[in-house]
Chain A
Amino acid sequence: MRYLDFKKFSIYYDPYLIISITLLSILGLFFLYSASDGNAAVLIKQSIFVFFGLILMIVLSQPDPQIYYSYSGFFLLISIILVFVAIFFGPEINGANRWISFGFVTLQPSELCKIFLPIFIASYLYGVKLPINLKNTFLTIFLILVVFLIVSSQPDLGTAIVILLSGLYVLFLAGLSWTFIGSALAIFVISLPFLWNNFLEPFQRQRIATLFNPDLDPFGSAWNITQSKIAIGSGGIFGKGFGEGTQSHLNFLPETETDFIFAVIAEEFGLIGLTILIGLYFFIFIRCFYLSINARDRFCRLVIGGLSLVFISTLFINIGMVIGLLPVVGMPLPLISQGGSSLISFYIAFGIIISMASHKKLVPR
């Protein structure tokens, strides 16, 4: 619990998280400048997001967790409504309706769901007896699936998977019985062929197939991964230097500003650069781990645990994809990839985490 006492009011904060996140964000701007071929417009836009995002994070750290507890249902509802707005009224970009356009900026409301769904589930579970019983388990899973299906219909499989995970993490942390987990896994494995045939688009199947056999289609969907691996591998220990990555700048690497920015960093800064970057992420995880273990109550524990795991999952899915260990799915490198929605959603998440870590509960007598 930390706060600065200014007699009348206090500012709640966590210095470790704030410093490491700010550092990561600034580093991200630096990387993005190279990844976007020195595009000043991209950099300025992203800088504005980072600046206001950091302020938003501090602001959201101030309310007592009680506020988030009370309004968690409301926040989730707003998020889902916005997703529907995007589906029905948003501009169609590349065949998907994921965005709401505000003229100067387009936002992706599904990003909010991955924050407010776990918070809502945590607040719901706050009031029930743990370990969670079967009825509550099904109710929660039902809710998670509904949100998952809405988002995946946009279509946006990447975000939908993170949303699914965000809910399941909270459920798991709340003590979901191992028997249940075991049987659910068994059912999932058995229904895999069915899901493969009915749920995945052909291009998604292709992406998974090339993961296991990259020679299958060297110029099609495996092309991106091959080029990404070349970019990373050719970075070596020290990298080629800022703005010197040939893979990144000669258009061999796709989506350098967004999904594949990790490969740009790897090519230009080598293993040393990546180790520093991963070290920063690692520091954030450890801090979140510490904060959730020491959280003041069940609600805060579940929220800090759930949100930090969402952050970790996003990171792992992105890196796993770029280094060729996971199939290609749209997923940003958290706090670094270009794109305001993902950035803002993580600032919101960390704002809430800090709020929950820094407000001490009045211990009832």
Chain B
Amino acid sequence: MTEINETYKEKISFNKRLIFLYVTFGILGVVFYYQIFNLQISNYSEYEIAAENNKNEEISVQPLRGIIFDRNGEILVNNIPTFDLITKPFFIDDPDDFLLKLSSFLEIDEEDKKVFLSQFKKAKTLNKELTLKQSISDEDKAKFLVRSHMFENAYVGERYLRNYLYPEIFSHSIGYVGRPNDDELDEIYEKRSLNKKINFTYTNQLIIGKTGLEFTYEDILTGEFGNNLREVDARGRTLDEKISSEPKVGNNLYTSLDLKSHQAAHKAFNNRKGAVVAIDIKDGSIVTLFSSPTFPTNQLANGILQKDFDELLLSEEKPFFNRALKGRYPPASSIKPAIAMYGIEEGLIDWDFSIFDEGFFTLPEDGRIYRDWKEGGHGDTNLFKAITQSSNTYFFDLAYRSDINQLNKHLSSLGFGGKACIDCFEEDKVFVPEPSWKMNKHNFGWFKGDTVNMGVGQGYLVSTPIQLAKYAYIMANKGKFSDLSLKKDLVKSEKSIEFNKFSNDDWFKLHESMVNVIEGNTGTARRLRERKNYIVAAKTGTAELVSGDNREQYSETRLDDSLRDHALIIAFGPMPNPRYAVSVVVENGESGGSVAGPVAISVLNSLIQE
């Protein structure tokens, strides 16, 4: 009886507890059902919109970049159409199988396959397109098109390539485009408020100017991204793609660069190292900005093999180095007209003042000898002769009597140690050496001898080819100048150098002496006379890389190519009303007159005899 009673009690307890649990779950069930009701009925419209927004996506559409022209309207850079094989990973179940199927009739690089497979999963999840093969041939295109019914998950799409028409000539001045790195990418997405998905117009997808004008005028060239609204169905197929706003093609860039002069420079340099810069005196625009050797911009913009890239990067010729803007060269004798201007302005010399040049200058303080390039010297030498025959002794003497701070100020006013160009890519403004600079850098005070060396453009004084060109331009234009620039018709204010003593007559005589460098029978560049049929003013220079104390040492250093002197020339013409100023540096070219001179003349010829 007690047992039955206990069994009964136990059963009651069990039932109660089971009911307790079921009721607990019942209450929970009501809460859950309420939540489902909330989602599906009360907030239905909100979630419906959210789902719609998920499947309707805004897509940015990439614009074409603007075209780049030379100053005569010749196209230098444009966009050319090409065909890419583009896949839709969302519809590909097995990527390996897909590649196998394609490979049966198309040749696909292992590298392309690797890239495809590595990005496949992400693209599939995001329902994004993925380019498998760029710039396919007409034959491959035809092969694919006849089989396209088998490939709902791929198509051949028209894309563009950035095309450099003169890839080996404007490498440094125009530069090239390339894919942005991660940081740049974030910046672009934010700046242009791009959507996650982009319809690419270029084979290389997002491209930005990496160097040169492509970089400087990125904003002008890029244009504006458009917007499409794409609706997809539950199977991921595009139902409709509406254009909300068309992409706006980037503005064309009209440059002041001159195609013919670049071709002439390229030919004249013949891959030797160096640079040439030519300036239109009318407005200070740069017509030639050429650094040699160059590199192939099309490959850099549209795909270069790592091996080839490394070869360029590690080359001893340093083709990527823009010598025109960044090469640091002693101006050597080409500085002499500047020193002469200083001497006249400060009243240290005039055109009648002369010295007897015995082939060297002795520093009175310590008896140190500063040699002229000509053994035995030039004899009686006035300023005119000192410029045409490039007497060092005359300028050693003049520099010795100069005040270094005043001289610095003068050189700076001529553009040394300052940025010459307002829209050049990564220009090196170098510096004009000052006593304080020497103290900081070398922990030595300024010697009188340092000033003497500067008188012939040696020692601590360095300059870039573009600075030399600007200096030539200022002299050609008698002290008036504008900032240099590459974009055509840029509005710039004209500046001028203030002189007290240096007069118009002095300008005339200075030009005359520089004309005689070529036209005079004793001029250092007289051999250039026959290469042209107009008059050119010039000053040559030979920058010593190693200064030998005697001639034997000097001859030894000449044996090593890389230690040979740099050849320089600055020139302007045609005289008496010059239109162009030019500077040329040929690295290890030795003699300014005979090596740099011909380059300058062929560039001037191309500009003047058109």
Interface class of chain A by DSSP = helix
Q: How far is the CA of A233 from the CA of B33 in the complex (A)?
A: 13
Query: A140 in the interface, Cβ–Cβ < 8 Å?
Result: no
What CA separation (Å) do A252 and B232 show in the bound complex? Answer: 13
* Chain B residues whose CB sits within 8 angstroms of the CB of A249 once the complex forms: 234-236
Binds A, one of B38-46, B154-162, B499-507, B537-545: B38-46
> Could you tell me if A246 and B54 are in contact, using CB atoms closer than 8 angstroms?
yes
Q: Is B18 an interface residue (CB 8 A)?
A: yes
Query: A236-B41, A236-B44, A252-B54 known; A246 and B233 CB under 8 Å?
Result: yes
Q: How far is the CA of A316 from the CA of B28 in the complex (A)?
A: 8
Task: Decide if B14 touches A246 in the complex (CB within 8 Å).
Answer: no
Question: How far is A243 from B234 in the complex, measured between Cα atoms in Å?
Answer: 7
| A293 CA / B15 CA spacing, docked (Å) | 6
A285 is an interface residue with CB less than 8 A from chain B: yes
A131 to B127, CA, bound (A): 61
Q: Tally A residues with Cβ within 8 Å of B.
A: 51
Q: Name A262's closest neighbour in chain B (CB-CB).
A: B36
A233 touches B21 (CB 8 A): no
Take A250-B55, A316-B28 as given contacts and tell me if A323 and B21 are in contact as well, using a CB distance cutoff of 8 Å: no
- Given contacts A172-B21, A231-B51, 15 further A-B pairs with CB under 8 A are A175-B13, A175-B17, A230-B50, A232-B36, A232-B40, A234-B47, A235-B40, A237-B40, A246-B51, A249-B236, A251-B125, A293-B15, A302-B14, A316-B32, A323-B39
For residues 7 through 30 of chain B, which have their beta carbon under 8 Å from a beta carbon of chain A? 10-11, 13-15, 17-18, 21-22, 25, 28-29
Q: Answer whether residue B37 sits at the interface, using C-beta atoms and an 8 A cutoff.
A: yes
Tell me, rounded to whole Å, the shortest Cβ–Cβ distance linking A1 to chain B: 18
Against A, the Cβ 8 Å flags (1 = close, 0 = not) of B211-245 are 00000000000000000000011111000000000
CB of A266 within 8 Å of the partner chain: yes
B36→A266 contact, CB < 8 A: yes
Given B31, B40, B55, which contacts A266 in the complex, CB threshold below 8 Å?
A: B40
Q: Is B35 an interface residue (CB 8 A)?
A: yes
Question: Would you call A236 and B40 a contact (CB within 8 A)?
Answer: yes
Contact A246 B55 (CB under 8 A): yes
A243 to B17, CA, bound (A): 43
B127 touches A250 (CB 8 A): yes
Main SS class of interface, B? helix
Using known A-B contacts A271-B41, A323-B35, determine if residue A230 contacts B125 with beta carbons closer than 8 Å. no
B48 close to chain A: CB less than 8 A: yes
Are B233 and A234 interface neighbours, CB within 8 A?
A: no
A-B contact pairs, 10 of them (CB 8 A): A169-B21, A173-B17, A175-B14, A233-B51, A246-B51, A250-B232, A252-B54, A266-B39, A270-B40, A309-B21
A229 touching B127 in the complex, CB below 8 Å, given contacts A316-B25, A316-B28, A323-B35:
no
Bound Cα distance from A131 to B10, whole angstroms: 7
CB-defined contacts of A316 to chain B, threshold 8 Å? 25, 28-29, 32
Pick from B13, B21, B35, B234: contact of A246, CB under 8 Å: B234
Tell me the complex Cα distance, A206–B234, Å.
31
B120: shortest Cβ distance to chain A, in Å? Answer: 14
Q: Which 4 A-B pairs have the closest CB atoms?
A: A233-B47, A234-B51, A233-B39, A249-B234
Considering only CB atoms and an 8 Å cut-off, how many residues of chain B contact the other chain?
40
**Most interface-central of A233, A274, A301 (chain B CB within 10 A):** A233
Which residues does A use to contact B, with CB under 8 Å? 130-131, 169, 172-175, 227, 229-237, 240, 243-252, 266-267, 270-271, 274, 278, 282, 285, 289, 292-293, 298, 301-302, 305, 309, 312, 316, 319-320, 323-325
Residues of chain A within 8 A (CB-CB) of B35 are 323-325
Taking CB atoms, residues of chain A closer than 8 Å to B40 are 232-233, 235-237, 266, 270-271, 274
A239 to B43, CA, bound (A): 14
Find residues 48-88 in chain B having any chain A CB closer than 8 Å to their own CB. 48, 50-52, 54-55
Q: Are B29 and A247 in contact (CB under 8 A)?
A: no
* Contacting pair B234 A245 (CB below 8 A): yes
Given that A230-B50, A248-B234, A252-B54 are contacting pairs, would A298 and B10 also be in contact in the complex, using a CB cutoff of 8 Å?
Answer: yes
Complex: chain B residue closest to A233, CB-CB: B47
Cβ contact within 8 Å between B43 and A233? yes
Min distance, Cβ A113 to any Cβ of chain B, angstroms: 21
Contact for B14 among A244, A251, A270, A305, CB less than 8 A: A305
**CA A270 – CA B37 in complex, angstroms?**
10
B516 to chain A, nearest CB (A): 76
* Residue from B13, B18, B37, B51 in contact with A247 in the complex, judged by beta carbons closer than 8 Å: B51
Chain A residues, Cβ within 8 Å of B51? 230-231, 233-234, 246-247, 267
Judging by beta carbons under 8 Å apart, are B47 and A229 in contact?
yes
Chain B residues with Cβ below 8 Å from A252 are 54
Nearest chain A CB to B53 CB, angstrom units: 9
Query: Known: A250-B232, A289-B22. Contact between A271 and B37, CB under 8 A?
Result: yes
Give every chain B residue within 8 A of A298 (Cβ-Cβ): 10, 14
B25 touching A278, Cβ below 8 Å: no
CB distance from B97 to the nearest CB of A (A): 14
Other-chain residue from B17, B48, B125, B236 in contact with A172 (beta carbon distance below 8 A): B17
